[in-house]
Amino acid sequence: MMVRMRRLSLALATALALALTACGGGARLQPGPKAQAELPPANPEAVSRMVKGVQAAKEGQRSRAIQLLREAIAIDPNLYEAHYDLGIVLALTGDLAGAEEHLAQAARLAPDSHEAAFALAEVQRRRGSHRDAAAGLSSFVERHPDAVEARTLLVAALRNAGQVDKAIAQGREVLVRKPGDASALSELALCHLAKGERDTAQLLARQALDTGPKNAGAHRAMGLILLQMGDDAGAFQSFSKAATEDPRDTTARMNMGTVLLRAGAYAKAEEQFRAILQASPEDAEAQLGLAAALRGQADPKTPGPKAEEAKQILTKVLEKDAHNVGALFNLAVLYADFLKKPAEARPLFERFLADASGDHPARAEAQKYVSALAAPPPAAPSPPEPKK
């Protein structure tokens, strides 16, 4: 017997998707409008397993949740809610490639689902695929021009993809539909910051704080502006306010940890990254930050347990995402400078160079390491001694 069910996401997004937080002043993942696409009736057994999977995820049993959601999809491949929920859980475990696969399928099955489009774009942004995120969101807002949350995220995606003028145009479209929106003003501030227009950026960030004094994104935007202006103390204070306004927002703690790393306060940075990982144990960005903080405290002459823990963390990240360029570079440096294992370091640098974008800021440094770690040419054989 087949039953019909409402084709909208379950409550898993509200309970678990808090880790999918936009960078800078971006919007957070929120449950969106109901999908409008007409889909066939859902298989009741698939629905039952999906519900059990959602419950397991809410109880912290992520492995069990993934198993049940995969079983639901095997029974009913058209159950877009199961694809969506599985994508969210996989993202929380750090499997962003798997998350993108299932969120993309959810978006294909339910092209009018705001939440599927939003979550897919967030995962793509976390993987560094800003152009893909921008393309998908552009298509979605063209069909749904009043989807202001998706359009606000589009501003961030376009900005990160280097299409700043297009991002500004989209930000203005948000403000036409929702005047004074603090999130849109925050994103516009970061766009003008990207253009080097600090005064305009600061003005927009202040407007965002005036209209949304408790908006975490507005505080984050101001922090990023102050950071670029060299005011690390002011930036840290803004990030702290963002964390206070939204304690579940890991982005503020990430930014605080970054400021502390930049200041060389590695032990304090370690505290911030460990706090993130306590709430979200598989957050890959926090793992990279923690590894950097640990490496900063290690002594190259006698690396000790800090360097060893950093190695274990970075290895774990690469086990889940073999193409994570941050983990590749940092693990390679750890092997080269701290663990004194050039044979292990060089292939990691080479993998980094193969996967990193052409304008990656660490590319030149990695190329220097590769040259320095190149195996010396074999010594020429000694000529035979003349016979006497």
Collapsing DSSP to helix, strand or coil, 216 comes out as helix
Residue indicated by tokens 């993809």? 161
**Res 377: pLDDT:** 53
Alpha-carbon gap, residue 36 to 141, rounded angstroms: 15
Within the chain, residue ranges assigned H as helices are 12-16, 44-58, 62-75, 80-92, 96-109, 114-126, 130-143, 148-160, 164-177, 182-194, 198-211, 216-228, 232-245, 250-262, 266-279, 284-297, 304-320, 325-333, 342-355, 363-372
Return the number of other C-beta atoms located less than 10 Å from residue 93's C-beta: 20
Distances (CA, A) of 76 to 2, 55, 69, 87, 175: 11, 19, 10, 16, 41
Per-residue pLDDT of the chain (388 residues; tens, 9 = 90+): 222 232 333 334 333 333 333 334 333 333 333 444 566 788 999 999 999 999 999 998 999 999 999 999 999 999 999 999 999 999 888 788 899 999 999 999 999 999 999 999 999 887 778 899 999 999 999 999 999 999 999 999 999 899 999 999 999 999 999 999 999 999 999 999 999 999 999 999 999 999 999 999 999 999 999 988 989 899 999 999 998 888 777 788 888 998 899 889 999 999 999 988 887 777 788 899 999 999 999 988 888 899 999 999 999 999 988 989 999 999 999 999 999 899 999 999 999 999 988 888 889 999 999 999 876 555 555 656 655 5
CB atoms within 10 A of CB 367: 13
Q: Which two tokens stand for residue 329?
A: 């570079």
Kindly write down the DSSP assignment for every residue of 114-135, as one continuous string: HHHHHHHHHHHHHTT-HHHHHH
Contact 362, 329 (CB under 8 A): yes
Cβ-in-10-Å burial (0-12, 13-18, 19+) of 143 comes to: exposed
Q: Contact, 293 vs 269, CB < 8 A?
A: yes
What is the rounded end-to-end Cα distance, in angstroms, of the chain? 100
**Any idea which residue has 């049940």 for tokens?**
68
Of residues 368, 372, 367, 344, the one with CA closest to residue 356: 367
pLDDT reported for residue 381: 59
